[in-house]
Structure 1
Amino acid sequence: MKKYEGLFQIGEVALLCGITRKMILNYEDLGLLAPTTADIASGYRYYDIRAISKVQTILDLRQVGMSLPEIGQYLNGGLSAESKIAALEEQKRQLDFMLAEMKARAVKSDEYAIEEIFLPETVCICTDYVAADIEDGLSAYIAAYETCINRRIPFAATSYHFCEFPEDILSDEFFKTENIPMCICISVDRKKAPSDAVIYPECWALSLIYRGAYENSVFAYEQLQKYISEHEIQGYGYPRELYVQGDFDADSEENLVRIVVPVMSKENGDFL
Protein backbone atom coordinates (compact mmCIF):
# COMPACT_ATOMS: atom_id res chain seq x y z
CA MET A 1 0.00 0.00 0.00
CA LYS A 2 1.36 3.37 -0.91
CA LYS A 3 2.16 5.68 1.98
CA TYR A 4 -0.23 8.38 0.83
CA GLU A 5 -2.86 6.26 -0.84
CA GLY A 6 -6.28 7.93 -0.73
CA LEU A 7 -4.70 11.36 -0.27
CA PHE A 8 -4.21 14.09 -2.81
CA GLN A 9 -1.47 16.64 -3.37
CA ILE A 10 -2.26 20.33 -3.34
CA GLY A 11 -2.11 20.62 -7.14
CA GLU A 12 -4.65 17.82 -7.51
CA VAL A 13 -7.01 19.45 -5.02
CA ALA A 14 -6.69 22.77 -6.84
CA LEU A 15 -7.53 21.07 -10.14
CA LEU A 16 -10.53 19.24 -8.66
CA CYS A 17 -11.96 22.42 -7.14
CA GLY A 18 -11.16 24.74 -10.03
CA ILE A 19 -8.92 27.06 -8.02
CA THR A 20 -5.23 27.80 -7.72
CA ARG A 21 -2.62 26.33 -5.41
CA LYS A 22 -2.10 29.84 -4.03
CA MET A 23 -5.74 30.07 -2.95
CA ILE A 24 -5.48 26.83 -0.97
CA LEU A 25 -2.34 28.09 0.77
CA ASN A 26 -4.19 31.32 1.57
CA TYR A 27 -7.02 29.32 3.16
CA GLU A 28 -4.42 27.57 5.31
CA ASP A 29 -2.77 30.87 6.31
CA LEU A 30 -6.20 32.15 7.43
CA GLY A 31 -6.87 29.01 9.47
CA LEU A 32 -9.75 27.87 7.27
CA LEU A 33 -8.07 24.67 6.14
CA ALA A 34 -5.27 22.35 7.16
CA PRO A 35 -3.60 19.55 5.21
CA THR A 36 -4.42 16.05 6.39
CA THR A 37 -0.71 15.32 6.58
CA ALA A 38 2.58 16.58 5.19
CA ASP A 39 5.76 14.81 4.14
CA ILE A 40 8.52 16.17 6.37
CA ALA A 41 11.27 15.30 3.91
CA SER A 42 9.70 16.78 0.77
CA GLY A 43 7.37 19.35 2.32
CA TYR A 44 4.50 18.09 0.16
CA ARG A 45 1.00 18.58 1.58
CA TYR A 46 -1.64 15.87 1.29
CA TYR A 47 -5.41 16.18 1.67
CA ASP A 48 -8.16 13.62 2.22
CA ILE A 49 -11.76 13.80 1.00
CA ARG A 50 -12.84 15.67 4.15
CA ALA A 51 -10.34 18.43 3.45
CA ILE A 52 -11.45 18.58 -0.18
CA SER A 53 -15.07 18.82 0.98
CA LYS A 54 -14.10 21.71 3.26
CA VAL A 55 -12.52 23.54 0.32
CA GLN A 56 -15.80 23.19 -1.54
CA THR A 57 -17.70 24.48 1.50
CA ILE A 58 -15.44 27.54 1.56
CA LEU A 59 -16.10 28.11 -2.14
CA ASP A 60 -19.86 27.71 -1.64
CA LEU A 61 -19.83 30.29 1.16
CA ARG A 62 -17.86 32.67 -1.04
CA GLN A 63 -20.60 32.33 -3.65
CA VAL A 64 -23.24 33.54 -1.17
CA GLY A 65 -21.22 36.64 -0.38
CA MET A 66 -19.18 35.73 2.67
CA SER A 67 -15.71 37.16 3.01
CA LEU A 68 -12.90 34.83 4.06
CA PRO A 69 -12.81 36.25 7.63
CA GLU A 70 -16.59 35.73 7.85
CA ILE A 71 -16.19 32.15 6.64
CA GLY A 72 -13.67 31.57 9.41
CA GLN A 73 -16.13 32.90 11.99
CA TYR A 74 -18.95 30.83 10.52
CA LEU A 75 -16.96 27.59 10.49
CA ASN A 76 -15.86 28.22 14.09
CA GLY A 77 -19.40 28.98 15.24
CA GLY A 78 -18.81 32.68 15.73
CA LEU A 79 -21.14 33.80 12.95
CA SER A 80 -24.67 32.50 12.60
CA ALA A 81 -26.51 31.95 9.34
CA GLU A 82 -29.25 34.25 10.66
CA SER A 83 -26.90 37.20 11.09
CA LYS A 84 -25.53 36.73 7.57
CA ILE A 85 -29.07 36.51 6.19
CA ALA A 86 -29.83 39.86 7.84
CA ALA A 87 -26.69 41.37 6.31
CA LEU A 88 -27.56 40.02 2.86
CA GLU A 89 -31.10 41.35 3.15
CA GLU A 90 -29.68 44.79 3.92
CA GLN A 91 -27.38 44.53 0.91
CA LYS A 92 -30.38 43.55 -1.21
CA ARG A 93 -32.31 46.55 0.08
CA GLN A 94 -29.43 48.80 -0.88
CA LEU A 95 -29.12 47.20 -4.33
CA ASP A 96 -32.87 47.51 -4.87
CA PHE A 97 -32.62 51.18 -3.92
CA MET A 98 -29.71 51.76 -6.29
CA LEU A 99 -31.50 49.97 -9.13
CA ALA A 100 -34.71 51.94 -8.54
CA GLU A 101 -32.85 55.24 -8.51
CA MET A 102 -30.98 54.50 -11.72
CA LYS A 103 -34.24 53.46 -13.37
CA ALA A 104 -35.71 56.75 -12.17
CA ARG A 105 -32.96 58.69 -13.90
CA ALA A 106 -33.80 56.90 -17.16
CA VAL A 107 -37.47 57.97 -17.10
CA LYS A 108 -38.67 60.02 -20.07
CA SER A 109 -40.86 63.10 -19.72
CA ASP A 110 -44.01 61.30 -20.91
CA GLU A 111 -43.68 58.17 -18.77
CA TYR A 112 -45.90 57.76 -15.71
CA ALA A 113 -45.35 54.30 -14.22
CA ILE A 114 -46.76 53.87 -10.72
CA GLU A 115 -45.15 51.38 -8.33
CA GLU A 116 -45.14 50.61 -4.64
CA ILE A 117 -41.84 51.34 -2.91
CA PHE A 118 -40.48 51.26 0.62
CA LEU A 119 -39.42 54.61 2.08
CA PRO A 120 -36.80 54.30 4.82
CA GLU A 121 -36.93 56.40 7.96
CA THR A 122 -35.80 59.95 7.25
CA VAL A 123 -34.59 62.61 9.67
CA CYS A 124 -35.29 66.15 8.50
CA ILE A 125 -35.06 69.82 9.33
CA CYS A 126 -38.55 71.02 8.47
CA THR A 127 -39.94 74.41 7.54
CA ASP A 128 -43.67 75.09 7.16
CA TYR A 129 -44.42 77.59 4.44
CA VAL A 130 -47.24 78.88 2.25
CA ALA A 131 -45.81 79.70 -1.17
CA ALA A 132 -47.32 82.51 -3.21
CA ASP A 133 -46.56 80.50 -6.36
CA ILE A 134 -44.22 77.79 -7.65
CA GLU A 135 -41.24 80.14 -7.97
CA ASP A 136 -41.78 81.38 -4.42
CA GLY A 137 -41.93 77.77 -3.21
CA LEU A 138 -38.64 77.02 -4.95
CA SER A 139 -37.07 80.10 -3.34
CA ALA A 140 -38.26 78.93 0.07
CA TYR A 141 -36.82 75.47 -0.58
CA ILE A 142 -33.45 76.98 -1.53
CA ALA A 143 -33.52 79.14 1.60
CA ALA A 144 -34.19 76.09 3.81
CA TYR A 145 -31.38 74.23 2.08
CA GLU A 146 -28.97 77.13 2.62
CA THR A 147 -30.01 77.37 6.28
CA CYS A 148 -28.90 73.78 6.88
CA ILE A 149 -25.62 74.50 5.13
CA ASN A 150 -25.04 77.60 7.24
CA ARG A 151 -25.86 75.61 10.39
CA ARG A 152 -23.24 73.07 9.29
CA ILE A 153 -25.75 70.21 9.62
CA PRO A 154 -24.47 67.18 7.66
CA PHE A 155 -26.89 65.89 5.04
CA ALA A 156 -28.13 62.30 4.94
CA ALA A 157 -26.12 60.08 2.61
CA THR A 158 -28.99 58.38 0.79
CA SER A 159 -32.22 60.28 1.50
CA TYR A 160 -33.51 62.96 -0.85
CA HIS A 161 -34.75 66.31 0.33
CA PHE A 162 -38.47 66.69 -0.20
CA CYS A 163 -41.58 68.79 0.26
CA GLU A 164 -44.73 67.45 1.85
CA PHE A 165 -48.05 68.95 0.82
CA PRO A 166 -50.54 68.70 3.73
CA GLU A 167 -53.71 68.24 1.74
CA ASP A 168 -55.80 65.32 0.46
CA ILE A 169 -54.48 64.37 -2.97
CA LEU A 170 -58.01 63.47 -4.09
CA SER A 171 -59.36 66.91 -3.28
CA ASP A 172 -60.46 68.93 -6.32
CA GLU A 173 -58.44 71.82 -4.92
CA PHE A 174 -55.28 69.81 -4.31
CA PHE A 175 -53.06 70.97 -7.15
CA LYS A 176 -52.50 74.70 -6.71
CA THR A 177 -50.21 77.15 -8.43
CA GLU A 178 -50.88 79.89 -5.86
CA ASN A 179 -51.00 79.97 -2.05
CA ILE A 180 -49.43 76.52 -1.81
CA PRO A 181 -49.14 75.08 1.73
CA MET A 182 -45.99 72.99 2.08
CA CYS A 183 -43.55 71.54 4.55
CA ILE A 184 -39.96 71.78 3.29
CA CYS A 185 -37.92 68.83 4.56
CA ILE A 186 -34.13 68.78 4.30
CA SER A 187 -32.77 65.28 5.01
CA VAL A 188 -29.91 65.25 7.51
CA ASP A 189 -27.58 62.71 9.08
CA ARG A 190 -29.46 60.99 11.90
CA LYS A 191 -26.37 60.71 14.11
CA LYS A 192 -25.64 64.44 13.88
CA ALA A 193 -29.18 65.78 13.71
CA PRO A 194 -29.97 68.72 16.02
CA SER A 195 -32.77 68.64 18.58
CA ASP A 196 -35.23 70.41 16.24
CA ALA A 197 -35.02 67.62 13.64
CA VAL A 198 -38.18 65.71 12.76
CA ILE A 199 -38.34 61.96 12.13
CA TYR A 200 -40.42 60.65 9.24
CA PRO A 201 -41.00 56.95 9.96
CA GLU A 202 -40.36 54.25 7.37
CA CYS A 203 -43.40 53.41 5.28
CA TRP A 204 -44.69 51.98 2.03
CA ALA A 205 -45.78 54.41 -0.62
CA LEU A 206 -47.18 54.70 -4.11
CA SER A 207 -44.49 56.23 -6.27
CA LEU A 208 -44.29 57.90 -9.66
CA ILE A 209 -41.29 59.52 -11.32
CA TYR A 210 -41.87 62.85 -13.03
CA ARG A 211 -39.42 64.58 -15.36
CA GLY A 212 -40.00 68.18 -16.46
CA ALA A 213 -40.98 71.68 -15.36
CA TYR A 214 -42.64 71.78 -11.94
CA GLU A 215 -45.78 73.53 -13.19
CA ASN A 216 -46.54 70.58 -15.49
CA SER A 217 -46.35 67.99 -12.72
CA VAL A 218 -50.16 68.20 -12.52
CA PHE A 219 -50.23 65.43 -15.14
CA ALA A 220 -48.28 63.13 -12.81
CA TYR A 221 -50.57 63.93 -9.90
CA GLU A 222 -53.59 63.15 -12.06
CA GLN A 223 -52.17 59.68 -12.69
CA LEU A 224 -51.78 59.10 -8.95
CA GLN A 225 -55.28 60.39 -8.26
CA LYS A 226 -56.68 58.05 -10.89
CA TYR A 227 -54.75 55.08 -9.49
CA ILE A 228 -55.90 55.70 -5.90
CA SER A 229 -59.52 56.06 -7.00
CA GLU A 230 -59.56 53.06 -9.31
CA HIS A 231 -57.93 50.80 -6.73
CA GLU A 232 -60.19 52.15 -3.98
CA ILE A 233 -57.26 52.85 -1.67
CA GLN A 234 -58.75 54.14 1.56
CA GLY A 235 -55.68 54.80 3.67
CA TYR A 236 -53.13 57.21 2.30
CA GLY A 237 -51.07 60.13 3.56
CA TYR A 238 -50.00 63.52 2.32
CA PRO A 239 -48.09 63.56 -0.98
CA ARG A 240 -44.38 64.27 -0.98
CA GLU A 241 -42.07 65.38 -3.75
CA LEU A 242 -38.59 63.86 -3.42
CA TYR A 243 -36.14 65.90 -5.45
CA VAL A 244 -33.89 63.45 -7.27
CA GLN A 245 -32.27 65.76 -9.80
CA GLY A 246 -32.40 69.45 -10.66
CA ASP A 247 -30.52 72.72 -10.64
CA PHE A 248 -33.02 74.97 -8.80
CA ASP A 249 -34.71 75.93 -12.07
CA ALA A 250 -38.50 75.46 -11.87
CA ASP A 251 -38.84 75.54 -15.66
CA SER A 252 -36.13 72.99 -16.46
CA GLU A 253 -37.27 69.97 -18.43
CA GLU A 254 -34.54 67.96 -16.69
CA ASN A 255 -36.00 68.27 -13.19
CA LEU A 256 -36.51 64.77 -11.82
CA VAL A 257 -38.99 64.31 -8.99
CA ARG A 258 -40.21 61.17 -7.27
CA ILE A 259 -43.78 61.87 -6.16
CA VAL A 260 -44.84 59.53 -3.35
CA VAL A 261 -48.05 58.98 -1.43
CA PRO A 262 -47.67 56.96 1.81
CA VAL A 263 -50.19 54.11 1.99
CA MET A 264 -51.64 52.21 4.93
CA SER A 265 -51.38 48.55 5.80
CA LYS A 266 -54.46 46.52 4.93
CA GLU A 267 -53.89 44.40 8.05
CA ASN A 268 -54.06 47.01 10.79
CA GLY A 269 -54.80 50.33 9.17
CA ASP A 270 -51.49 51.85 10.19
CA PHE A 271 -48.94 53.45 7.93
CA LEU A 272 -46.33 50.80 7.25
Structure 2
Amino acid sequence: MVPEDDCYSIGKVAGLCNTPVKTLRYYDEIGLLKPTYRCEESNYRYYSKEQMNTLLVIRRLRALGFNLKEVQSLIEDTSLDFIESMMTAKQAELNEEIRMLQAKQQTISSLLGRVRLGRAIMAQHRSEVGPDLSRHSTPIQVEYIPEGQLLYSRQLMKQYRNADVSFSRWIDILEQCTALGIPLESPIIVTFYGELLGQFLMKDCDVEFGVLIGQNTVLPEIENVRSWGGTYAATVYHVGKYSDIVRSYITLLQWINQHGCEVLGPPAERFIISPLEVKDEGQHIVQILIPIRRPAA
Protein backbone atom coordinates (compact mmCIF):
# COMPACT_ATOMS: atom_id res chain seq x y z
CA MET A 1 0.00 0.00 0.00
CA VAL A 2 1.41 3.38 -1.03
CA PRO A 3 1.00 6.25 1.47
CA GLU A 4 -1.11 9.07 -0.02
CA ASP A 5 1.28 11.70 1.37
CA ASP A 6 4.28 10.29 -0.45
CA CYS A 7 2.98 9.47 -3.94
CA TYR A 8 0.25 10.33 -6.38
CA SER A 9 -1.62 7.82 -8.49
CA ILE A 10 -1.43 8.16 -12.26
CA GLY A 11 -5.08 9.24 -12.33
CA LYS A 12 -4.50 11.97 -9.76
CA VAL A 13 -1.37 13.21 -11.58
CA ALA A 14 -3.34 13.33 -14.81
CA GLY A 15 -6.02 15.46 -13.16
CA LEU A 16 -3.71 17.81 -11.27
CA CYS A 17 -1.34 18.39 -14.18
CA ASN A 18 -3.98 18.31 -16.94
CA THR A 19 -2.09 15.55 -18.73
CA PRO A 20 -3.86 12.51 -20.22
CA VAL A 21 -3.16 9.14 -18.64
CA LYS A 22 -2.25 7.86 -22.08
CA THR A 23 0.49 10.50 -22.32
CA LEU A 24 1.89 9.58 -18.89
CA ARG A 25 2.04 5.94 -19.93
CA TYR A 26 3.89 6.91 -23.10
CA TYR A 27 6.39 9.03 -21.14
CA ASP A 28 7.00 5.96 -19.00
CA GLU A 29 7.56 3.76 -22.08
CA ILE A 30 10.15 6.08 -23.62
CA GLY A 31 11.90 6.73 -20.30
CA LEU A 32 11.06 10.43 -20.13
CA LEU A 33 9.15 10.22 -16.83
CA LYS A 34 9.14 6.83 -15.15
CA PRO A 35 6.94 6.45 -12.03
CA THR A 36 8.64 6.24 -8.67
CA TYR A 37 6.64 3.19 -7.69
CA ARG A 38 4.65 0.56 -9.53
CA CYS A 39 2.29 -1.68 -7.57
CA GLU A 40 3.20 -5.34 -8.15
CA GLU A 41 -0.38 -6.53 -7.73
CA SER A 42 -2.22 -3.96 -9.88
CA ASN A 43 0.72 -2.69 -11.98
CA TYR A 44 -0.57 0.79 -11.14
CA ARG A 45 1.84 3.72 -11.45
CA TYR A 46 2.58 6.18 -8.63
CA TYR A 47 4.55 9.44 -8.89
CA SER A 48 6.42 11.49 -6.31
CA LYS A 49 5.97 15.22 -5.64
CA GLU A 50 9.31 15.87 -7.33
CA GLN A 51 8.08 14.05 -10.44
CA MET A 52 4.98 16.24 -10.42
CA ASN A 53 7.30 19.23 -10.73
CA THR A 54 9.22 17.48 -13.51
CA LEU A 55 5.97 16.88 -15.37
CA LEU A 56 5.13 20.58 -15.15
CA VAL A 57 8.56 21.37 -16.60
CA ILE A 58 7.92 18.88 -19.42
CA ARG A 59 4.55 20.48 -20.18
CA ARG A 60 6.08 23.96 -20.28
CA LEU A 61 8.92 22.89 -22.56
CA ARG A 62 6.49 21.12 -24.89
CA ALA A 63 4.33 24.27 -25.00
CA LEU A 64 7.43 26.22 -26.07
CA GLY A 65 7.92 23.89 -29.03
CA PHE A 66 10.66 21.57 -27.77
CA ASN A 67 10.41 18.00 -29.04
CA LEU A 68 10.61 15.04 -26.68
CA LYS A 69 14.28 14.40 -27.37
CA GLU A 70 15.12 18.02 -26.53
CA VAL A 71 12.95 17.84 -23.42
CA GLN A 72 14.80 14.71 -22.29
CA SER A 73 18.13 16.52 -22.69
CA LEU A 74 16.94 19.54 -20.73
CA ILE A 75 15.72 17.33 -17.88
CA GLU A 76 18.96 15.36 -17.74
CA ASP A 77 21.31 18.35 -18.04
CA THR A 78 20.13 21.23 -15.86
CA SER A 79 23.28 23.35 -16.13
CA LEU A 80 22.59 26.99 -17.02
CA ASP A 81 25.08 26.86 -19.89
CA PHE A 82 23.22 23.98 -21.53
CA ILE A 83 19.82 25.56 -20.92
CA GLU A 84 21.03 28.80 -22.48
CA SER A 85 22.36 27.02 -25.58
CA MET A 86 19.08 25.12 -26.03
CA MET A 87 16.96 28.25 -25.56
CA THR A 88 19.12 30.22 -27.99
CA ALA A 89 18.75 27.53 -30.64
CA LYS A 90 14.99 27.36 -30.11
CA GLN A 91 14.70 31.14 -30.34
CA ALA A 92 16.50 31.10 -33.70
CA GLU A 93 14.23 28.29 -34.91
CA LEU A 94 11.09 30.20 -33.89
CA ASN A 95 12.36 33.40 -35.52
CA GLU A 96 12.75 31.49 -38.78
CA GLU A 97 9.24 30.04 -38.44
CA ILE A 98 7.86 33.54 -37.85
CA ARG A 99 9.68 34.83 -40.94
CA MET A 100 8.24 32.03 -43.05
CA LEU A 101 4.72 32.66 -41.73
CA GLN A 102 5.01 36.38 -42.40
CA ALA A 103 6.07 35.61 -45.97
CA LYS A 104 3.04 33.34 -46.39
CA GLN A 105 0.78 36.03 -44.94
CA GLN A 106 2.10 38.63 -47.40
CA THR A 107 1.68 36.17 -50.26
CA ILE A 108 -1.93 35.55 -49.25
CA SER A 109 -2.51 39.32 -49.07
CA SER A 110 -1.08 39.69 -52.59
CA LEU A 111 -3.28 36.86 -53.88
CA LEU A 112 -6.34 38.39 -52.23
CA GLY A 113 -5.56 41.72 -53.89
CA ARG A 114 -5.33 40.02 -57.29
CA VAL A 115 -8.63 38.22 -56.78
CA ARG A 116 -10.33 41.51 -55.96
CA LEU A 117 -8.67 43.17 -58.96
CA GLY A 118 -9.78 40.27 -61.13
CA ARG A 119 -13.38 40.67 -60.01
CA ALA A 120 -13.30 44.38 -60.83
CA ILE A 121 -11.76 43.75 -64.28
CA MET A 122 -14.29 41.01 -65.01
CA ALA A 123 -17.21 43.21 -64.01
CA GLN A 124 -15.95 46.09 -66.18
CA HIS A 125 -15.31 43.75 -69.10
CA ARG A 126 -18.82 42.29 -68.95
CA SER A 127 -20.40 45.73 -68.79
CA GLU A 128 -18.46 46.81 -71.90
CA VAL A 129 -18.76 43.76 -74.15
CA GLY A 130 -22.27 42.72 -73.18
CA PRO A 131 -23.32 39.70 -75.23
CA ASP A 132 -20.29 40.05 -77.57
CA LEU A 133 -18.26 37.10 -76.29
CA SER A 134 -15.74 37.40 -79.13
CA ARG A 135 -14.07 40.38 -77.45
CA HIS A 136 -11.31 39.26 -75.12
CA SER A 137 -9.54 42.50 -74.23
CA THR A 138 -10.21 45.53 -72.08
CA PRO A 139 -9.46 49.14 -73.13
CA ILE A 140 -5.76 49.80 -73.76
CA GLN A 141 -3.85 51.99 -71.33
CA VAL A 142 -0.36 53.45 -71.02
CA GLU A 143 0.92 53.13 -67.49
CA TYR A 144 4.19 53.48 -65.65
CA ILE A 145 5.46 50.15 -64.36
CA PRO A 146 7.30 50.73 -61.06
CA GLU A 147 10.74 49.19 -60.75
CA GLY A 148 11.04 46.12 -58.59
CA GLN A 149 13.17 43.06 -57.91
CA LEU A 150 12.34 39.97 -59.97
CA LEU A 151 13.22 36.43 -58.95
CA TYR A 152 13.38 34.64 -62.28
CA SER A 153 14.13 31.49 -64.24
CA ARG A 154 15.06 31.94 -67.90
CA GLN A 155 15.74 29.31 -70.54
CA LEU A 156 15.36 28.49 -74.24
CA MET A 157 12.25 26.37 -74.77
CA LYS A 158 12.21 24.18 -77.86
CA GLN A 159 9.31 24.56 -80.31
CA TYR A 160 7.46 26.66 -77.79
CA ARG A 161 3.67 26.71 -77.98
CA ASN A 162 2.20 29.75 -76.31
CA ALA A 163 -1.07 27.93 -75.63
CA ASP A 164 0.78 25.40 -73.46
CA VAL A 165 1.27 27.13 -70.13
CA SER A 166 4.37 25.69 -68.44
CA PHE A 167 3.02 25.02 -64.96
CA SER A 168 6.18 23.19 -63.91
CA ARG A 169 8.21 26.38 -64.42
CA TRP A 170 5.62 28.32 -62.43
CA ILE A 171 5.69 25.87 -59.55
CA ASP A 172 9.51 25.89 -59.48
CA ILE A 173 9.53 29.67 -58.95
CA LEU A 174 6.75 29.62 -56.35
CA GLU A 175 8.37 26.77 -54.40
CA GLN A 176 11.73 28.56 -54.47
CA CYS A 177 10.10 31.63 -52.92
CA THR A 178 8.39 29.50 -50.27
CA ALA A 179 11.61 27.65 -49.43
CA LEU A 180 13.50 30.94 -49.05
CA GLY A 181 10.69 32.58 -47.09
CA ILE A 182 10.39 35.32 -49.73
CA PRO A 183 7.05 37.17 -49.81
CA LEU A 184 5.57 37.47 -53.29
CA GLU A 185 4.65 40.96 -54.49
CA SER A 186 3.16 39.93 -57.82
CA PRO A 187 1.62 37.12 -59.80
CA ILE A 188 3.72 35.08 -62.21
CA ILE A 189 5.31 37.28 -64.89
CA VAL A 190 6.33 35.67 -68.18
CA THR A 191 8.65 37.60 -70.52
CA PHE A 192 9.29 36.60 -74.14
CA TYR A 193 12.68 37.58 -75.58
CA GLY A 194 13.60 37.61 -79.25
CA GLU A 195 11.27 38.17 -82.20
CA LEU A 196 8.08 40.04 -81.34
CA LEU A 197 5.18 37.54 -81.34
CA GLY A 198 7.71 34.76 -81.85
CA GLN A 199 6.06 32.79 -79.04
CA PHE A 200 3.14 32.08 -81.36
CA LEU A 201 5.21 30.64 -84.20
CA MET A 202 6.12 27.19 -82.79
CA LYS A 203 9.81 28.19 -82.77
CA ASP A 204 12.51 27.91 -80.13
CA CYS A 205 11.70 30.68 -77.68
CA ASP A 206 13.73 32.42 -74.96
CA VAL A 207 11.25 32.56 -72.07
CA GLU A 208 11.61 33.97 -68.57
CA PHE A 209 9.30 33.14 -65.66
CA GLY A 210 9.49 35.33 -62.58
CA VAL A 211 7.81 36.96 -59.61
CA LEU A 212 8.37 40.31 -57.95
CA ILE A 213 9.61 40.13 -54.38
CA GLY A 214 9.29 42.58 -51.51
CA GLN A 215 11.55 45.62 -51.63
CA ASN A 216 12.62 45.16 -48.02
CA THR A 217 13.23 41.44 -48.39
CA VAL A 218 16.62 40.30 -47.15
CA LEU A 219 17.79 37.98 -49.91
CA PRO A 220 20.22 35.09 -49.59
CA GLU A 221 23.12 34.94 -52.02
CA ILE A 222 21.30 33.92 -55.20
CA GLU A 223 22.09 34.99 -58.74
CA ASN A 224 18.64 34.81 -60.37
CA VAL A 225 17.36 38.19 -59.18
CA ARG A 226 17.24 41.26 -61.44
CA SER A 227 15.53 44.63 -61.67
CA TRP A 228 12.22 44.74 -63.54
CA GLY A 229 9.98 47.57 -64.66
CA GLY A 230 10.91 51.23 -64.30
CA THR A 231 9.39 52.07 -67.69
CA TYR A 232 6.16 53.04 -69.43
CA ALA A 233 4.21 50.27 -71.11
CA ALA A 234 1.12 49.89 -73.25
CA THR A 235 -1.09 47.43 -71.40
CA VAL A 236 -4.27 45.51 -71.92
CA TYR A 237 -6.06 42.82 -69.95
CA HIS A 238 -6.86 39.62 -71.85
CA VAL A 239 -9.95 37.93 -70.42
CA GLY A 240 -10.78 34.32 -71.18
CA LYS A 241 -8.96 31.43 -72.85
CA TYR A 242 -5.20 31.78 -72.92
CA SER A 243 -5.10 30.10 -76.33
CA ASP A 244 -6.85 33.21 -77.73
CA ILE A 245 -4.38 35.73 -76.29
CA VAL A 246 -2.78 36.37 -79.68
CA ARG A 247 -5.87 38.43 -80.55
CA SER A 248 -5.21 40.76 -77.66
CA TYR A 249 -1.55 41.06 -78.71
CA ILE A 250 -2.60 42.09 -82.23
CA THR A 251 -5.06 44.63 -80.84
CA LEU A 252 -2.36 46.10 -78.59
CA LEU A 253 0.28 46.25 -81.35
CA GLN A 254 -2.18 47.92 -83.70
CA TRP A 255 -2.84 50.57 -81.07
CA ILE A 256 0.91 51.11 -80.56
CA ASN A 257 1.45 51.61 -84.31
CA GLN A 258 -1.57 53.86 -84.71
CA HIS A 259 -0.35 56.14 -81.91
CA GLY A 260 3.22 56.35 -83.23
CA CYS A 261 4.80 54.65 -80.22
CA GLU A 262 8.13 52.82 -80.28
CA VAL A 263 8.48 49.35 -78.76
CA LEU A 264 11.39 49.45 -76.29
CA GLY A 265 11.58 45.94 -74.93
CA PRO A 266 10.21 42.41 -74.90
CA PRO A 267 6.54 41.83 -74.10
CA ALA A 268 5.57 40.42 -70.73
CA GLU A 269 2.47 38.77 -69.39
CA ARG A 270 1.28 39.20 -65.83
CA PHE A 271 -1.15 36.46 -64.78
CA ILE A 272 -3.74 38.18 -62.59
CA ILE A 273 -6.10 35.20 -62.40
CA SER A 274 -4.42 32.03 -63.62
CA PRO A 275 -5.25 28.30 -63.77
CA LEU A 276 -3.52 27.98 -60.41
CA GLU A 277 -6.36 29.99 -58.85
CA VAL A 278 -9.42 29.21 -61.01
CA LYS A 279 -10.12 26.29 -63.33
CA ASP A 280 -12.74 28.10 -65.42
CA GLU A 281 -10.92 29.48 -68.47
CA GLY A 282 -13.57 32.13 -68.89
CA GLN A 283 -12.37 33.79 -65.67
CA HIS A 284 -8.66 33.80 -66.48
CA ILE A 285 -7.13 37.27 -66.73
CA VAL A 286 -3.68 38.07 -68.14
CA GLN A 287 -2.24 41.57 -68.40
CA ILE A 288 -0.05 42.07 -71.47
CA LEU A 289 2.67 44.70 -71.08
CA ILE A 290 4.78 46.05 -73.95
CA PRO A 291 7.39 48.69 -72.98
CA ILE A 292 7.06 51.74 -75.22
CA ARG A 293 8.29 55.27 -75.86
CA ARG A 294 5.55 57.69 -76.79
CA PRO A 295 6.16 60.16 -79.63
CA ALA A 296 7.43 63.61 -78.68
CA ALA A 297 4.68 66.21 -78.37
TM-score interval, smaller chain: 0.5 to 0.7
Q: TM-score, normalised by structure 2?
A: 0.49
Q: Distance in 1 between matches of 2:231 and 2:117?
A: 16
Give 1:120 deviation, angstroms.
1.3
Corresponding position of 2:177: 148
Aligned residues: 168
2: CA distance, partners of 1:180 / 1:254: 27
1:205 aligns with 2:233: yes
User: SS state of the match for residue 184, structure 2?
Assistant: coil
Give, in angstroms, the shift of residue 102 of structure 1.
6.0
Task: State the 1:245 CA deviation.
Answer: 0.9
What is aligned with 1:175?
200
Runs of 5+ consecutive residues of structure 1 not aligned to the other structure:
1-96, 268-272
After the TM superposition, which residues 65-214 of structure 1 pair with which residues of structure 2 at under 5 Å, given as runs? Answer: 103-106=120-123, 107-108=125-126, 110-112=135-137, 113-131=139-157, 132-133=160-161, 134-135=163-164, 137-156=166-185, 159-169=186-196, 173-177=198-202, 179-194=204-219, 195=221, 196=223, 197-214=225-242
Per the alignment, do residues 98 and 147 of structure 1 end up closer, same or farther by CA in structure 2, a change over 3 Å counting?
Answer: closer
- Secondary structure class of the residue paired with 2:251: helix
Q: Distance in 1 between matches of 2:248 and 2:183?
A: 32
Shift in Å, 1:119: 1.1
Return closer, same or farther for 1:216/1:136 CA change in 2, 3 Å cut-off. closer
Q: For the aligned residues, what is the CA RMSD? A: 3.2
Kept in 2, the 8 Å contact 1:247–1:255? The answer is yes
**Distance in 2 (alpha carbons) for counterparts of 1:222 and 1:149:** 36
Contact map agreement 1:166 1:238 (CA 8 A) in 2 = yes
Per-residue deviation at 1:103? 4.3
Counterpart position of 2:253: 225
- Decide which structure has the larger Cα Rg and report it: 2
* TM-score, normalised by the number of residues in structure 1: 0.53
Give the letter aligned to residue 192 of structure 1.
Answer: T
How far apart in 2 are the matches of 1:250 and 1:237? 31
Return the alpha-carbon distance in structure 2 between the equivalents of residues 257 and 99 of structure 1.
14
Does structure 1 retain, via aligned residues, the 8 Å contact 2:267–2:290? yes
Amino acid aligned to 2:290: V
Secondary structure at the counterpart of residue 135 of structure 1: coil
